[in-house]
Amino acid sequence: MFAVTGCLLVAGALVIIWAARLTVDREIYVSELGATGEPTADWFRVALLLIVAGGSLIAFAGRRIRSAAPLLRATTPAISLWVGCGFFLVASQVTCTAGCPLPYGPTFTWQDFIHTSVAVLAFAAACWAMLQVSFAVGHRALRSFSLTCGIAVAVVAGAGGILSLARFGTDVGSVLELVATTIALGWLAVFGLAVRGSSAVEERQQRVGESDELMDLVVVPVDPPHSGLVADGHEIPVLLPHDEGAFGT
């Protein structure tokens, strides 16, 4: 239920972000949706809070997943997601000023600096979690998907950030940032569904195991002549699974 609820919250956040973006008739970065004075500011905060709540629940559901790579297994993907959610929580409360100017030069403000910094760190934590899952034990399909998404988010978001810093092609950079956000949230939802699926399999296996533990070996007497079995005296060799010998009955 943690994973399912988290997926629904993340999907809701993605819908809100896209709906808010479609109401703006100019090319703007995602963070500008929450800028001071923007009509979409409140919805942007709600979307970030949904990401925080949904991502935290998904991280809790996938807390047992660990990476097999030595460097990546220092922490779990769940911890990386919780760190990213913490940064998004700060970003939801400290939004940028009107126009979301870059925090350097004459337009520098601490508000823009804090928001930009935590937003970048949140995306970095999400990419790190994707990389960790890419080398996780088991989950072959999820590993390939996570590696693809991690590379895509890093490249697309990085290109958008470079264009923003260069103050060139901001219309393209804003689209790239929206694409990177969509990929990241999509990966988070898929990760939650995969965790939910693996948890369901483990639960079924556990139930089967519990049932097996309650079973006792019962010796049923048989009559060789009537059963059609060929016996040596009064014993019938019964081969047990994974046993080279035979059990006489």
Q: Is residue 91 part of a domain?
A: yes
- 182 and 237 inside one domain: no
Least confident of 44-58, 98-112, 204-218: 204-218
**Same-domain pairing of 71 and 170:** yes
DSSP states along the chain? -HHHHHHHHHHHHHHHHHHHHHT--S---GGGGGSTT-TTHHHHHHHHHHHHHHHHHHHHHTTT--BSSTTGGGS-HHHHHHHHHHHHHHHHHS---TT---SSGGG--HHHHHHHHHHHHHHHHHHHHHHHHHTBSS-HHHHHHHHHHHHHHHHHHHHHHHHHHTT--HHHHHHHHHHHHHHHHHHHHHHHHHHHHHHHHHHHHHHHHHHHHT---------HHHHT---BTTB-EEEPTT-SSEEE-
Distance CA 168, CA 174 (A): 11
Least reliable range by pLDDT among 130-139, 155-164, 227-236:
227-236
| 232/111: higher pLDDT | 111
**CATH classification of the domain holding 142:** 1.20.1070
Q: Are residues 231 and 161 in the same domain?
A: no
Q: Is residue 72 part of a domain?
A: yes
- Reported residue count of the chain is 249
pTM for this prediction: 0.76
Determine the average pLDDT of the residues in 167-187. 85
| 120 and 196 together in one domain | yes
Percent over 70 (pLDDT), the chain: 77
171 pLDDT above the threshold of 80: no
Q: Does residue 214 lie within any of the structural domains?
A: no
**Mean pLDDT score of the chain:** 81
Q: Is the pLDDT of residue 248 over 60?
A: no
Identify which has the larger pLDDT, 196 or 247: 196
Same domain? 149 vs 89: yes
Same-domain pairing of 74 and 193: yes
Smallest CA-to-CA distance from 114 within 10, 181, 31, 39 is with: 31
> Given this model, what pLDDT does residue 208 score?
41
Q: What is the mean pLDDT of residues 220-237?
A: 53
Q: What is the pLDDT of residue 124?
A: 92
Distance, CA of 134 to CA of 128 (rounded, Å): 10
User: What does residue 21 show for φ and ψ, rounded to 5 degrees?
Assistant: -65, -40
Pick the residue with more confidence: 20 or 248? Answer: 20
Q: At residue 185, does pLDDT exceed 90?
A: yes
Number of domains the chain contains: 2
At 202, list the tokens. Answer: 């483990």
In this structure, what token pair is assigned to residue 16? 């809100």
213 within domain boundaries:
no
Mean pLDDT of 84-112: 89
With beta carbons less than 8 A apart as the criterion, state whether 34 and 169 touch: no
Summarize the confidence of residues 154-158 as an average pLDDT: 89
Whether pLDDT at 213 is above 60: no
Would you say residue 215 lies in a domain? Answer: no
pLDDT score of 163: 78
- Indicate whether 31 and 139 sit together in one domain: yes
**What is the distance between the alpha carbons of residues 60 and 124, in angstroms, rounded to a whole number?**
19
> According to the model, what pLDDT value does residue 36 have?
86
Residue 85: C-alpha distances to residues 200, 245, 246 (Å): 25, 57, 59
Asked whether residue 66 is domain-assigned, the answer is yes
Shared domain for 189 and 235, answered yes or no, is no
CA distance 113 to 108: 7
125 and 203 in a common domain:
yes
Which of 70-74, 90-94, 153-157 shows the lowest per-residue confidence on average (mean pLDDT)?
70-74
> 121 and 36, same structural domain?
yes
Which residues does residue 107 pair with via DSSP β-bridges, in sequence order?
none
Instruction: Kindly state whether residues 86 and 6 are assigned to the same domain.
Output: yes
- Is residue 151 domain-shared with residue 226, that is, in the same domain? no
In a domain, 57, yes or no: yes
Q: Is the pLDDT of residue 241 over 80?
A: no
Whether 159 is in a domain gets the answer: yes
Per the structure, the complete domain to which residue 63 belongs is given by 2-208
Predicted confidence at residue 6, as pLDDT, reads 94
Span 127-141, average pLDDT:
89
| CB neighbours of residue 207 within 10 Å | 10
